[in-house]
Amino acid sequence: MTLKAKVEKNTGVRLFFQTVIGRAYPRVIGLLRERSWFIFEVVLPVISVAAYVFIYRAIGAPDIYVGFVVMGGAMTAFWLNVLWSMSSQMYWEKETGNLALYIMAPNSLMAILLGMALGGLFATAQRALVITLAGSLLFNVQFEVSSYLMLFGVFMLTMVALYGMGMMSSSLFLLLNREAWHYANLAQEPVYLMSGFYFPIKSFDFWIAAGASIIPLTLGLDAMRQLSFAGGEELGFLNVRIELAILAVLSVLFILGAKWLLEYMERLAIREGRLTDARR
């Protein structure tokens, strides 16, 4: 008499979270194994921050601008992570031959991208923290946080909306095929400008600043500056509570948009059977 071992297959929520953990793991471990990446991704942003600090000091700008630059330099790490490790991710998986495996696997693409987002967020947060500490010590930046709880809430909502945008744009970049590389390069510097990484977004015309607010970092960075520096509210674009509400709306919209686009991409792959090939 032969006994057949019963193999239990994980499905539903359990499979979703196992996929998230499994895909986040290599991003976290990769940071520890490739220490040279950490050095380059910290040193280069600090050099860029130093350039803007010296410019502001040369023209006699208020000291609060130096703090704005240091915080903006730290947040560039998150934008670069979203741009190159989220938005372009499906395109790179296609080039390396992994995308077909992802689509055939029983787990959802949303879980795969969420795992990438969490792993990337953990690794990038360490780099951002080092950039903030280094900039603060080098340039004597004084922080005066008015509400740590609200600051944490703004940061988390900004990350949810930002990585939601990254998941949504990953499908768009994939459908753009080889143009994804060019669009990624094109998007990098304009976002630095429109999000006000190195200056208050209030410097723009109201409608230009409002249009730039579609990028979560714009409002998130503005709100964090208002909460972190004395006099930051005077240079703020909108009230912090209004910016929190807008970030919450953007989070929902981007996550729903990511879900719809990923499902559309899967349906396209199943129907045409050639998503990973050159599409006519």
Tokens representing 201? 């977004």
Q: Sorting pLDDT into bands at 50, 70 and 90, what band is 1?
A: very low
In a domain, 19, yes or no: no
Q: How far apart are CA 213 and CA 253, in angstroms?
A: 14
Looking at residue 127, its pLDDT comes to 81
Residue with tokens 């730290």: 74
In a domain, 258, yes or no: yes
Looking at residue 277, its pLDDT comes to 47
Are the CB atoms for 157 and 252 separated by under 8 Å? no
pLDDT at 4 over 60: no
Among residues 194, 170, 58, 37, the alpha carbon closest in space to that of 109 is found at 170
Among residues 79, 268, 80, 78, the alpha carbon closest in space to that of 174 is found at 268
* H-helix or E-strand spanning residue 60: none
Q: How far apart are CA 22 and CA 111, in angstroms?
A: 10
Predicted confidence (pLDDT) per residue in 115-159, tens digit: 888 888 887 888 888 888 888 888 888 888 888 899 999 999 999
Contacts of 23 (CB under 8 A, 6+ apart): 111, 112, 114, 115, 116, 119
What is the extent of the structural domain holding 169? Answer: 36-272
Predicted confidence (pLDDT) per residue in 183-237, tens digit: 777 777 888 888 888 889 988 899 999 999 999 999 999 999 999 998 888 888 9
Are the CB atoms for 135 and 72 separated by under 8 Å? no
Q: Sorting pLDDT into bands at 50, 70 and 90, what band is 34?
A: low
Among residues 77, 163, 48, the alpha carbon closest in space to that of 117 is found at 163
Are the CB atoms for 220 and 151 separated by under 8 Å? no
Predicted confidence (pLDDT) per residue in 59-73, tens digit: 988 888 998 999 988
Q: How far apart are CA 216 and CA 45, in angstroms?
A: 20
Are the CB atoms for 98 and 179 separated by under 8 Å? no
Q: Sorting pLDDT into bands at 50, 70 and 90, what band is 249?
A: very high
Average pLDDT over residues 85-112: 78
DSSP conformational letter for 86: I
pLDDT at 280 over 70: no
% of the chain residues with pLDDT over 70: 87
Q: How far apart are CA 143 and CA 140, in angstroms?
A: 10
pLDDT at 244 over 90: yes
Task: Reduce the DSSP state of residue 52 to 3 states and report it.
Answer: helix
pLDDT at 279 over 60: no
Looking at residue 32, its pLDDT comes to 67
Looking at residue 177, its pLDDT comes to 67
In a domain, 10, yes or no: no
| pTM of this structure | 0.83
In a domain, 128, yes or no: yes
Looking at residue 150, its pLDDT comes to 92
In a domain, 173, yes or no: yes
> What's the chain's Rg over C-alpha atoms?
21
Among residues 130, 186, 170, 190, the alpha carbon closest in space to that of 261 is found at 170
In a domain, 74, yes or no: yes
Letter for the amino acid at 177?
N
DSSP conformational letter for 178: T
Predicted confidence (pLDDT) per residue in 177-198, tens digit: 666 677 777 777 888 888 888 8
Are the CB atoms for 197 and 220 separated by under 8 Å? no
In a domain, 27, yes or no: no
In a domain, 28, yes or no: no
Residue with tokens 């071992």: 5
Average pLDDT over residues 82-111: 78
Contacts of 226 (CB under 8 A, 6+ apart): 232, 233, 235, 236, 240
How many domains does the structure of the chain reveal? 1
